[in-house]
């Protein structure tokens, strides 16, 4: 096995963002081999440290979401902290921040100042609504992004209210875009001769990240005059594609949308004639008769146990899955064989399960992340590289700079 490092090995990222979206960008880069240093205020009062799940006083969300990072503390709002920060930033490739637009400028850390210290610095600014526009300085949270993008409007039953899922999906998606943006900026910068490498500012709006996922909806609205509505779990653009309950109470999701798959599904149901029914012969016709085909499928699933249904659908090569809880996922033989979950060593809890590094680079050993750091745990090591000795560090600590 080749133990060559992952693609971002050698890249240094300073993550001074809070909560989830922007820090997730840095975490994903750390999974790809980057060295990531997490900067917090000396009080360690990042809101993620108080979000559930918390086990016996230990913030599991913090430990997993900020995995693979070193931890330092610094109050950049103080003059001494600002001075130390500008020395620190000289040694990094990327700065990740998510403060409200203009906040770093007000602290004397505007982009020209940062680039005077480090002309090659890439700055990712991840905010709710971007650096410009009338909403630029509004506070942003995942559910706000999901609401304003139209994402929540599509979630829920047709006759019920819009819904959010029980997880900050808007933050996670914005974080993915942030990691992609960092990798893109690094590729552009590093393709040039060293003397021509200039840092860039990345303006990432979390709301626009969610908008980007809803690819055809604006075009659909313009040319049909109709805004797509929620339909529960039933897809309105392909059929059959819905969630169905089995005789023994399990839920499955099933996709029979392509015409060849639908033929196989009809055979699995023992109803081959349905594939020749003019209402169901093509996907276009099936979407026009969604309720009819769904009623047939719902009745069939309700008459079969999960085991019987699984056998029939597998034999016919029809895409389906039981709706998994996380308990099902961690016990699934395929995920176990793939090593889809790893253990993060933890001095307080022994170890913590977490998703493995994604994606995999074949023939290489993925980095083994550590848990999210304690506040300031690596101050001595990181600041020591800048020439700050033990006595100076203690003075800074006494002044609440670090």
Distance, in Å, from the CA atom of 99 to the CA atom of 76, rounded to the nearest integer, reads 13
The one-character DSSP state at 197 is -
Number of H helices, E strands in the chain: 17, 13
Distance, in Å, from the CA atom of 209 to the CA atom of 25, rounded to the nearest integer, reads 13
Distance, in Å, from the CA atom of 15 to the CA atom of 69, rounded to the nearest integer, reads 9
Distance, in Å, from the CA atom of 194 to the CA atom of 43, rounded to the nearest integer, reads 39
Residue 33 phi, psi dihedral angles, 5° rounding:
105, -5
3-class DSSP assignment, residue 279: coil
- Transcribe 89-143 into DSSP letters: GGG-SEEEE-PPTTHHHHTT--HHHHHHH-TT-EEEEEESS-SSSTTTTS---HH
Q: How far is CA 368 from CA 355, 371, 375, in A?
A: 12, 10, 21
Rg value, the chain, Cα? 25
Residue 158: other Cβ atoms inside 10 A: 10
Query: Residue 94: how many CA atoms within 13 Å on its side-chain side?
Result: 36
3-class DSSP assignment, residue 8: coil
In angstroms, how far is the first alpha carbon of the chain from the final one?
Answer: 42
- 352 strand-pairing partners: 344
- Helix boundaries (H) for 125-168: 142-148
Active-site residue list: 171
Residue 181 phi, psi dihedral angles, 5° rounding:
-65, -40
Distance, in Å, from the CA atom of 156 to the CA atom of 135, rounded to the nearest integer, reads 27
- 231 strand-pairing partners: 233
Q: With beta carbons less than 8 A apart as the criterion, state whether 77 and 170 touch.
A: no
């Amino acid at each position: 096995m080749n133990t060559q490092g992952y693609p971002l090995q050698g890249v240094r990222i300073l993550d001074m963002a809070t909560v989830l979206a922007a820090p997730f960008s840095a975490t994903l880069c750390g999974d790809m081999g980057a060295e990531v240093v997490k900067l917090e205020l000396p009080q360690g009062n990042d809101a993620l440290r108080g979000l559930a799940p918390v086990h016996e006083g230990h913030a599991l969300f913090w430990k997993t979401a900020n995995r693979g990072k070193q931890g330092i503390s610094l109050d950049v709002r103080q003059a001494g902290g600002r001075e130390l920060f500008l020395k620190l930033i000289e040694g990094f490739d990327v700065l990740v921040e998510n403060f409200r637009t203009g906040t770093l400028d007000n602290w004397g850390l505007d982009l020209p100042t940062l680039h005077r210290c480090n002309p090659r610095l890439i700055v990712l600014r991840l905010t709710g609504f971007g650096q410009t526009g009338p909403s630029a300085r509004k506070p942003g949270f995942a559910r706000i992004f999901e609401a304003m993008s139209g994402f929540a409007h599509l979630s829920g039953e047709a006759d019920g209210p819009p819904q959010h899922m029980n997880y900050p999906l808007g933050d996670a998606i914005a974080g993915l875009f942030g990691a992609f943006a960092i990798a893109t900026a690094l590729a552009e910068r590093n393709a040039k001769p060293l003397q021509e490498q200039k840092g860039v500012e990345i303006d990432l709006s979390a709301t626009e990240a969610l908008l980007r996922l809803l690819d055809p909806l604006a075009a659909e609205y313009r040319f049909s005059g109709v805004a797509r509505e929620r339909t529960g779990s039933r897809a309105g653009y392909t059929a059959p594609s819905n969630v169905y309950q089995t005789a023994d109470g399990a839920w499955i999701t099933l996709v029979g949308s392509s015409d060849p798959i639908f033929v196989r599904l009809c055979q699995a149901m023992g109803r081959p004639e349905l594939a020749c029914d003019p209402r169901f012969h093509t996907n276009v016709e099936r979407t026009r008769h969604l309720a009819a085909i769904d009623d047939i499928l719902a009745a069939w699933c309700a008459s079969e146990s999960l085991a019987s249904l699984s056998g029939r659908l597998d034999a016919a090569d029809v895409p389906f899955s039981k709706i998994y809880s996380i308990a099902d996922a961690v016990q699934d033989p395929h995920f176990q064989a793939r090593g889809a979950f790893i253990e993060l060593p933890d001095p307080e809890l022994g170890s913590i399960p977490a998703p493995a590094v994604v994606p995999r680079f074949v023939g290489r050993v993925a980095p083994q992340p550590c848990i999210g750091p304690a506040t300031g745990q690596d101050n001595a090591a990181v600041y020591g590289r800048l020439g700050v000795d033990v006595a100076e560090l203690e003075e800074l600590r006494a002044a609440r700079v670090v």
